[in-house]
């Protein structure tokens, strides 16, 4: 059965986007001592996308695999945004050039690996927020 996207369903994502953007911004601020408004925008989008994994995928997708998929999604998004804001626009929001296993100074293996547990936490947080908003509580098989 195909789901239709309604305006109401899209509006329901706004609080999730705001929460995700705020958390992403704060993580970066406390980790690096600074952040950028573009990270708020990116964080909100990523939080919504991570949360939609349980909405779109109908089979039991283990939390660990969601974390790995989430880390891949975040890494790809950071590469794309980094190429625009850091390379094309020259804003210098971040630069990983001095770290090992980095690509173009925009992504590095170290941070990609850190995104696995953070993505797992984001999936659970999204589901808890959705539960508070009246949706059915989801169970998360770890493996």
Q: How buried is 2 (Cβ within 10 angstroms: 0-12 exposed, 13-18 middle, 19+ buried)?
A: exposed
Please tell me whether the overall predicted TM-score, pTM, comes out greater than 0.75 for this model: yes
- Provide the mean pLDDT of the chain: 89
Q: What is the pLDDT of residue 140?
A: 73
Identify the weakest region by mean pLDDT among 28-37, 50-59, 101-110.
50-59
The answer to whether 28 and 82 have CB atoms below 8 angstroms apart is no
> Can you state the angle between helices 7-32 and 37-56, rounded to 10 degrees?
130
Q: What is the pLDDT of residue 111?
A: 95
Considering only CA atoms, give the Rg of the chain.
16
Stated length of the chain: 143
Calpha distance 12→5 (Å, rounded):
11
* Farthest CA pair distance, the chain: 50
Three-state DSSP at 94 gives: coil
pLDDT in tens, 100-137: 999 999 999 999 999 999 999 999 999 899 888 888 88
pLDDT in tens, 63-83: 899 999 999 999 999 999 999
Q: What is the pLDDT of residue 1?
A: 44
Calpha distance 56→74 (Å, rounded):
18
pLDDT in tens, 1-22: 445 567 777 788 899 999 999 9
């Amino acid at each position: 059965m195909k789901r239709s996207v309604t305006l109401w369903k899209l509006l329901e994502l706004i609080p999730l986007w705001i929460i995700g953007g705020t958390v992403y911004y704060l993580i970066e601020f406390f980790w690096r001592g600074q952040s950028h408004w573009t990270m708020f925008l990116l964080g909100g989008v990523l939080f919504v996308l991570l949360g939609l994994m349980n909405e779109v995928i109908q089979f039991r997708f283990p939390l660990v695999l969601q974390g790995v998929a989430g880390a891949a999604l975040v890494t790809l998004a950071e590469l794309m945004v980094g190429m625009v804001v850091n390379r094309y626009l020259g804003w210098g929001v971040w630069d990983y050039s001095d770290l090992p296993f980095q690509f173009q100074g925009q992504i590095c293996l170290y941070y990609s690996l850190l995104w696995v547990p953070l993505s797992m936490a984001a999936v659970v947080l999204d589901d808890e927020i959705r539960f508070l908003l009246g949706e059915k509580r989801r169970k998360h098989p770890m493996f």
